[in-house]
A and B are shown apart, each in its own frame.
Chain A
Amino acid sequence: MAEQQNQQSQKGAVRRFLQSIAVPLGAVALALLIGAIIIELSGASAWEAYVALAKGAFGSAEGWRRTLEKTTPLIFSGLAVAFAFKAGLFNIGAQGQLLFGAITAAWVGFAVHGLPPGLHAALALIAGTIAGGLFGAIPGALKTYTGAHEVITTIMLNYIAMGFTDYLANGPLKDRSPGNIIARTPEILPSAKLPTWGWLPFGFILAVLAAVFAWWVLQRTTLGFEIRTVGQNPHAARYAGMKVARTVILTMVISAAFAGIGGAVETQGVVGRYEPGFNANLGFDGITVALLGKTNPFGVIPAAMLLGAMRAGSNVMQFDAHVAQEITDVVQALMLFFVAADQIVRWLLRIRAEEGEKITLSTGWGSQ
């Protein structure tokens, strides 16, 4: 009898898991389908295009390396968005936080001399993480002390971050080496660089560890319990004696720290310096990743890999199947559209929303 119940609850768990990934999978399938129609309409073969895309992303060790390299920053920014989500906060500011992380790591990477390789790299990573985190404290504090909604403040802070890092890369931290005319910092020292072992970038390992860390904090620590409680029911959190204001700020700091280390890893593992164009959209794409991953730290990894693979494979697709790379952007946008408008997918797949499973993108003003 007890065993039967146990079996039943196991079956229930499997069913619940399948149900929970049905919407993201459905969204991906729909997006690919519409993408295919567009490709066909433009006169190319959708099948060939997708095969070439997959080949480009996973067909070789080189493809895998590129895929993982593109996946890595997306995992970090996806974690940033997903983590804040658990406290009911919508962090649109991952982009700005990532930029701060990236440029701080670049600065530590080129300006600090004489450290042994491992230590130097670690120092740069930590600096980037802290810079991102502190930048995230601002919207957190604004929310708790003035009631300003984090969606608005993080959007505005993104502009500040872009402007400020541009200024740094074009001014005080500019690469003054002869012949350089563009806005960028000097190259970081080899001791600050993150290695890539064959097809496996070190940064990817860090990203996976970060996901485990995020899960651990949320599910296994008392702080995570506070964060989730504030997100689920701030009234009950106050009733239970939790310090809601402190939790909101702390959540934003941790969330932003994920974005910050993401920027640092990109600088130290891929770009090798801070150069504005290279980080474009990595933070914004975190929103898509987080939603596709159902704001679950472990869901973020496959979601980021999907987007990463599309980026990594797109030029092979262009070369082999003569389909413009931009089609991947269209497909990605469609994915975001369908996870956000999940009712469409549910209707198509005939699945009912479980109570409390719906994702609320943004609560109204003064809802706390």
Chain B
Amino acid sequence: MSEETLALEVRNIVKRFPGVLANDHVNFTLRKGEVHALLGENGAGKTTLMNIIYGLYHPDEGEIYINGQKVTIDSPHDAIRLGIGMVHQHFMLVPVFTVAENLILGAEPTKGWTLDLKAAREAVIRLSEQYGLEVDPDAVVEDLPVGVQQRVEILKALYRDAKVLVLDEPTAVLTPQEVEELFVIMRQLKERGVSIIFITHKLKEVLAIADRITVMRRGRVVGTTTPSEVTEQDLATMMVGREVVLQVDKAPAKPGDVVLSVQDLEVEDERGLIAVDGVSLEVREGEILGVAGVQGNGQTELVEAITGLREIRSGKVVLGGHEAPDRNPRYLIEHGMAHIPEDRQKHGLVLSYPIADNLVLCTYYKPPFAKGLQRNEEAIEENAKRLVKEYDVRTPSIFTPARSLSGGNQQKVIVAREFSRPVKLLVANQPTRGLDVGSIEYIHKRIVEMRDQGAAVLLVSAELDEILSLADRIAVMYRGKIVAVVDADKVTRAQLGLLMAGSPAEDVLDKEAVPA
């Protein structure tokens, strides 16, 4: 392997945060025109390593080589100049700008004193054609689906002439269809000599697209391999350091009384269009109802309406036989609802708060966390210590701000908080998004436990695997409607796929699968 073939190499990178060794003498090479998957547990140090390559963090030790040349990268500016582009776990676009405006942001072409937007539009069109990335240059970013926004991020990197592209968990927010499209794009980029570092927690994806795979654990590189040498199970074991059960085993459900009943619900989205269109469903004690569907078919609005975060236009949400007197989430929480929100950074956490405060976000006003008007710091800390341990949140301290946790550990904080109250109804929207296989195993186990203790669970997930392995009954949502409700053991993956794509239930399902 001559130096020439390496687009990027890092040697002995060390990065410490207060109380954490995030990168511990990391060595990593990226060949020209390869897709190199980076795998690892939550908090293993993947994003940190990428942020170092992109100039957002300074390594405490170690060297970076680009095309065999030693370089120092002090800022994203340097990184861009060196041909490195990055698409972050959380997008960095300006929502109210058009695609073309976003593209040139930070590197604006000018004509005299004015912006040359025409040149920008032309660049969008030229790049879209060149790489087969279809995007309308005049579309406003906030109106675009997530998958397309991501394409804009990639275009942005290409516009700056990136030869090395870092994709940090790009598929976490994509629909299966969008993932396929992304893979097509990645293959095209490869052909044009772009080298890609691809971070994901989904082992199937790794095996499908990667040329080489590097696994990290606790800040170190555990090893590098290729898809032909390993199975999903092998990768899982490498990541977590122990056997992981990828299959959930659960006893048949014993459904009891109806806990949540939704009747003829209609809900609008942000733009005032109908997003939930006459949905009725019931969830009983001791069962898991899975809502399957391609993202953007009204699941978000349905969950927000049920959990009191969104106005309902008409219809009813009944919890434990009573309709909530007002739409404030507090009533629902006090009556036994727990909610794992879809967007953890928007709803689930206050990023600037220490973990301890985030763990009492919904219960801070009640004993033992409140004593009269005052907070009871002791109880709050006690609670945090217990939950951090129980849920294996990887953090140097309970006072660490949620912002500095890795994505997966942020999710664990939310799950820990929501499971720490007595729960009658659990509404979980993408509960394992961004989690590593070990944590998924753990959270799945806890959800099933919760069910077995008599909770009703409404599980919304874009992951068919998750729905199939957890749900007792499955409701398929398509264009704001529930198009079918089936028993989980009477439906196949393929049938679900067809239903999610809009095929009529009568054509897809056998008569006896549809419960009366």
| A interface residues, Cβ below 8 angstroms from B | 5, 8-9, 12, 220-223, 225, 229, 232-233, 235-236, 238-243, 355-356
Is B348 in contact with A222, judged by CB distance below 8 angstroms? Answer: no
List B304-352 residues whose CB lies under 8 Å from chain A.
307-309, 328-334, 339, 341, 346-352
Question: Assuming the A-B contacts A221-B373, A238-B329, A241-B328, are A356 and B348 also in contact, with contact meaning beta carbons closer than 8 angstroms in the complex?
Answer: no
Question: Assuming the A-B contacts A220-B374, A241-B333, A356-B352, are A9 and B397 also in contact, with contact meaning beta carbons closer than 8 angstroms in the complex?
Answer: yes
Question: Assuming the A-B contacts A221-B373, A222-B370, A232-B352, are A240 and B18 also in contact, with contact meaning beta carbons closer than 8 angstroms in the complex?
Answer: no
Chain A residues positioned under 8 Å from B349 (CB to CB): 233, 236
Give CA–CA (A5, B399) in the complex, Å. 13
Q: Mark B370-395, 1 if CB is under 8 A from A, else 0.
A: 10011100000000000000000000
Give CA–CA (A232, B331) in the complex, Å. 23
Is A236 in contact with B346, judged by CB distance below 8 angstroms? Answer: yes
The reply to whether the CB of B452 lies closer than 8 angstroms to some CB of chain A is no
The reply to whether the CB of B357 lies closer than 8 angstroms to some CB of chain A is yes
The reply to whether the CB of B106 lies closer than 8 angstroms to some CB of chain A is no
| B interface residues, Cβ below 8 angstroms from A | 18-19, 307-309, 328-334, 339, 341, 346-353, 357, 361-362, 364-365, 370, 373-375, 397, 401, 403
Give CA–CA (A233, B358) in the complex, Å. 12
Give CA–CA (A240, B86) in the complex, Å. 33
Is B403 in contact with A232, judged by CB distance below 8 angstroms? Answer: no
Is A222 in contact with B403, judged by CB distance below 8 angstroms? Answer: no
Partner of B375, one of A225, A238, A241, A355: A225
Chain A residues positioned under 8 Å from B401 (CB to CB): 356
Question: Assuming the A-B contacts A8-B18, A241-B330, A355-B403, are A220 and B375 also in contact, with contact meaning beta carbons closer than 8 angstroms in the complex?
Answer: yes
Is A356 in contact with B357, judged by CB distance below 8 angstroms? Answer: no
Is B346 in contact with A241, judged by CB distance below 8 angstroms? Answer: no
Give CA–CA (A243, B333) in the complex, Å. 13
Question: Assuming the A-B contacts A12-B18, A240-B362, A241-B328, are A232 and B350 also in contact, with contact meaning beta carbons closer than 8 angstroms in the complex?
Answer: yes
The distance from the CB of A73 to the nearest CB of chain B, in whole angstroms, is 28
Chain B residues positioned under 8 Å from A8 (CB to CB): 18-19
Is B348 in contact with A239, judged by CB distance below 8 angstroms? Answer: yes
Give CA–CA (A221, B380) in the complex, Å. 13
Give CA–CA (A238, B339) in the complex, Å. 12
Chain A residues positioned under 8 Å from B374 (CB to CB): 220-222
The distance from the CB of A27 to the nearest CB of chain B, in whole angstroms, is 23
Is A229 in contact with B361, judged by CB distance below 8 angstroms? Answer: yes
Give CA–CA (A255, B60) in the complex, Å. 44
The distance from the CB of B449 to the nearest CB of chain A, in whole angstroms, is 24
A-B contact pairs, 7 of them (CB 8 A): A9-B397, A221-B373, A222-B370, A222-B373, A233-B350, A241-B329, A356-B403
Give CA–CA (A19, B305) in the complex, Å. 44
Give CA–CA (A160, B310) in the complex, Å. 37
**Minimal Cβ-Cβ distance residue in A for B344:** A236
The distance from the CB of B346 to the nearest CB of chain A, in whole angstroms, is 5
Give CA–CA (A243, B339) in the complex, Å. 18
Is A235 in contact with B347, judged by CB distance below 8 angstroms? Answer: yes
Partner of B362, one of A5, A12, A220, A241: A241
Chain B residues positioned under 8 Å from A225 (CB to CB): 357, 364, 375
Chain A residues positioned under 8 Å from B361 (CB to CB): 229, 236, 239-240
The distance from the CB of A367 to the nearest CB of chain B, in whole angstroms, is 12
Give CA–CA (A239, B304) in the complex, Å. 9
Is B350 in contact with A229, judged by CB distance below 8 angstroms? Answer: yes
Give CA–CA (A208, B330) in the complex, Å. 36
Of A233, A240, A242, the most chain B CB neighbours within 10 A belong to: A240
Chain B residues positioned under 8 Å from A233 (CB to CB): 346, 349-351
- Beyond known contacts A221-B374, A235-B347: 9 more, CB 8 A cutoff: A220-B374, A220-B375, A229-B353, A236-B350, A239-B309, A239-B347, A239-B348, A241-B331, A241-B333
**Minimal Cβ-Cβ distance residue in B for A233:** B350
Give CA–CA (A211, B37) in the complex, Å. 54
The distance from the CB of A289 to the nearest CB of chain B, in whole angstroms, is 23
Question: Assuming the A-B contacts A235-B346, A356-B403, are A222 and B18 also in contact, with contact meaning beta carbons closer than 8 angstroms in the complex?
Answer: no
Is A239 in contact with B341, judged by CB distance below 8 angstroms? Answer: yes
Partner of A222, one of B307, B353, B362, B375: B375
Give CA–CA (A225, B375) in the complex, Å. 8
Question: Assuming the A-B contacts A8-B18, A232-B352, are A239 and B328 also in contact, with contact meaning beta carbons closer than 8 angstroms in the complex?
Answer: no
Chain A residues positioned under 8 Å from B351 (CB to CB): 232-233, 356
